[in-house]
Structure 1
Amino acid sequence: MKSGARRSAWRRGTAVVCGTAAIAAITLTAQPATATGAPEADSMSGAFTDAAAEYDVPRDLLVAVGYGETHLDGHDGKPSQDNGYGVMHLVSNPERDSLGRAAKITGESRADLKRDTRANIRGGAAVLRAHADALGLDASARDDVAKWYPAVARYGGVKNERLAKFYADSAYEILAEGVRGGADVRTRARDVRPDRGDYADVPAIGTQSPDYPPAAWVPANAGNYAAGRSAAISQVVVHVTQGSYAGTISWFQNPEAEVSAHYVVRSADGEITQMVRDADTAWHARSANASALGIEHEGFVDDPSWFTDAMYRSSAALTKHLCDTHGIPKDRAHIVGHSEVPGNDHTDPGPNWNWDTYMAYVNG
């Protein structure tokens, strides 16, 4: 069946079934029925199954990549901060065009790849397979999920080898733990030891932060912030990335971004990366740039699943340190959301951010 027919069928609610032989080509995890009893082919889970079979990509690895990018939330076709779209975060910006690559391979329109979940997942599978082909993975290697590591590293679209390794490691961590969230999609936990290939000897991301030792130091591009400050530091601004941790770090290293923040906090475990020195001016809050320290938190404002206790605790410890170091009062007049800064049109951190919990940790 043509991709357009599959896509339309999902919209209409018509069951679509992949060929048994195609499904047998890869190792799949058995999926439970959805809460409404809809057939798998009429669901996001079915879209992953179909796309994995069509492009001979390990289905659960495809899910893990998507979950790491978006928690399997397409955000109604709205772009991330680096102009990525859909569940699989297909990107279109001056440095990277996985959206265009997906359109060329699949024949799907860019508009459908942005807004249609089935088309977007199919596009993600096509791009991941293209990376595998470029790396020379034959049919036998494609049957071994561990061999896909370099292809996953390339899917992240980052030029920094350390960050690419971090991106792939994160996807394989999700694969190992299994996915139990996001629409109707489930994967089982598994023991997987990725074959890192040339990435095996790549050092871990960053060095130690010069201003906050628990954090890693990965400098933003010099064109995305200003050296020095024109005002004393007097507040901390809380942001949400509208994208993934690795993607945000990569974007702040991209000279096309013209934005940055001092720190980025990971959702899963609260890992922190510093990208701009405290004494320099990150471009994150317009009127407050000169006097503020900006902390970006991995996730999307409309999805509370990103705001984990580990993230709250880690970020709060950082904020407490910054307030103590720079003499900032630890109250809501001086620890503010991006949306609360005058002259800004952003909505982050949004209604799902728990300020009571966060401030209790800051002052705990």
Structure 2
Amino acid sequence: MSRRTVRNPSLRKRVVIPVLGGLAATALVATGNLAGAAPAETGSERGPLSAAFTDAADRYDVPRDLLVAVGYGETRLNDHAGKPSHANGYGVMHLVSNPGHATLKEAADLTGEPLADLRGESEANILGAAAVLRDYADTQGLKAEERDGVHNWYTSVARYGGAEDDSTARLYADTVYELLSDGIAADVQGGEKVTVTPREVSPERGELADVRPHGVGAASEDYPPAAWVPANAGNYTKGRTAAISTVVVHVTQGSYAGTISWFQNPEAQVSAHYVIRSQDGEVTQMVRDADTGWHARGGNPYSIGLEHEGFVDDPAWFTDAMYRSSAALTKHLADKHGIPKNREHIVGHHEVPGNDHTDPGPNWDWDFYMSLVNS
């Protein structure tokens, strides 16, 4: 089993909230025992972020490893200096405040923490996420003896993701449980390491068990290797007013599942044609090539937008698998639509006239990417 690593996230200092109750965390090894929560913290694993996860897990009786996996799937445990994501989500746990999803407000109501602290302080942010997950579990009807097992939290995790449809909700929850299966080793600021021990997982999917997994049986007509998950019809324009001449490279400022969910939200008023996942380069098409995505303002009529999972300030998201998958897609689009394979026609969001975005940012390796497009 593999471990995933991320480095250099920002962590603001805050007084750690004391443990107020809940079951004691127990070590969990990869033997299929799903009842435990937190492995013992030793050496470099003792630090403010690790303590925040343990304290929040104990206070709200949420499995500590599950809490870490949710945060890692959202942000790689990086608070991005309090800046919001594309979906207006904040902190390492991506507490969201938008018309379709309101985990930030839910966290404030449940914990009494000020909104500013929930947005900008990691300990409060983690506590808020634990409170929201516990509230969902209570609504789900989880009893005290059931809350220790991570396999029982699947539908609560799916709800936390805020997906508009069941397939995307399953994608979100499956991603968290894949992280639990693989294990996590996240190096954070100050030499601290936050870990999750790999284990066998067997989630209880409840009403999502019969939902078709993401990408199964729904291939793109424009690019067959991609899954087809349409954006909300209110987030793009049917047809085009100009010939396709440009590919625009974006960074999602959020997770893969979260971005797909956001483009399905009628309140988003934004979309791109394709979304590419960091870990393995999986591609989802959400707007047909022949239609106009809303991703680059004045550049929309003549361009195809490619969103890459991650954040511009964290190069750990830009994996070899992502580069190669995206380059294969761009090469296909260039050949199909007669787009020259050069930097005048394959551009970053920040290079499209009339845009104020900075993506894909200085961590995107253009030389490597273009060498793959032209190979």
The reply to whether TM is greater than 0.5 is yes
For the residue of structure 1 that corresponds to 2:194, the secondary structure is: coil
* Consecutive unaligned residues in structure 2, runs of 5 or more: 1-11, 27-35
Distance of 1:225 and 1:27 partners within structure 2: 43
Residue matched to 2:213: 204
Distance of 1:21 and 1:169 partners within structure 2: 26
Percent sequence identity is 64
Residue matched to 1:151: 156
Residue matched to 2:267: 256
Residue matched to 2:40: 30
Residue matched to 1:3: none
The answer on 1:170 being equivalent to 2:175 is: yes
Distance of 1:161 and 1:344 partners within structure 2: 34
After TM superposition, the score normalised by the length of structure 2 is: 0.90
Tell me: higher relative CO, structure 1 or 2? Use CA pairs within 8 A at least 6 residues apart.
2
Counterpart pick for 2:345 among 334, 340, 357: 334
Size of the alignment, in residue pairs?
A: 349
Residue matched to 1:306: 317
Counterpart pick for 1:105 among 98, 102, 110: 110
Residue matched to 1:224: 235
Residue matched to 2:121: 116
How far did residue 265 of structure 1 move? 0.4
How far did residue 359 of structure 1 move? 1.0
Q: Is the 8 A contact 1:208 1:216 kept in 2?
A: yes
Superposition RMSD in Å = 1.7
Distance of 1:236 and 1:272 partners within structure 2: 15
Q: Is the 8 A contact 2:163 2:261 kept in 1?
A: yes
For the residue of structure 2 that corresponds to 1:171, the secondary structure is: helix
Distance of 2:90 and 2:59 partners within structure 1: 21
Q: Following superposition of structure 1 onto structure 2, how do residues 52-131 of structure 1 map, counting pairs within 5 Å?
A: 52-131=57-136
How far did residue 180 of structure 1 move? 1.1
Deviations 1:191-249 (A, max 9, x none): 11212122111112251111000001111111111111111100100000001111111
Residue matched to 2:13: 11
Q: Is the 8 A contact 1:71 1:182 kept in 2?
A: no
For the residue of structure 2 that corresponds to 1:361, the secondary structure is: helix
* Stretch of structure 1 that moved more, 240-249 or 192-201: 192-201
Q: Is the 8 A contact 1:31 1:187 kept in 2?
A: no
Distance of 1:29 and 1:155 partners within structure 2: 24
After TM superposition, the score normalised by the length of structure 1 is: 0.92
Distance of 1:212 and 1:247 partners within structure 2: 22
Deviations 1:120-170 (A, max 9, x none): 000011111111111001011111111111111111011300110111000
Distance of 2:323 and 2:257 partners within structure 1: 18
Change (3 A) 1:307 1:46: same
How far did residue 32 of structure 1 move? 3.1
Q: Following superposition of structure 1 onto structure 2, how do residues 216-295 of structure 1 map, counting pairs within 5 Å?
A: 216-295=227-306
Q: Is the 8 A contact 1:262 1:277 kept in 2?
A: yes
Amino acid at match of 2:24: I
Amino acid at match of 1:192: V
Change (3 A) 1:15 1:164: closer
Amino acid at match of 2:367: D
Q: Following superposition of structure 1 onto structure 2, how do residues 171-186 of structure 1 map, counting pairs within 5 Å?
A: 171-183=176-188, 184-186=193-195
* Stretch of structure 1 that moved more, 56-65 or 354-363: 354-363
For the residue of structure 2 that corresponds to 1:202, the secondary structure is: coil
* Consecutive unaligned residues in structure 1, runs of 5 or more: 1-9
Q: Is the 8 A contact 2:164 2:265 kept in 1?
A: no
Q: Is the 8 A contact 1:91 1:98 kept in 2?
A: yes
Distance of 1:54 and 1:17 partners within structure 2: 8
Distance of 1:172 and 1:276 partners within structure 2: 28
Distance of 1:348 and 1:246 partners within structure 2: 19
For the residue of structure 2 that corresponds to 1:23, the secondary structure is: coil
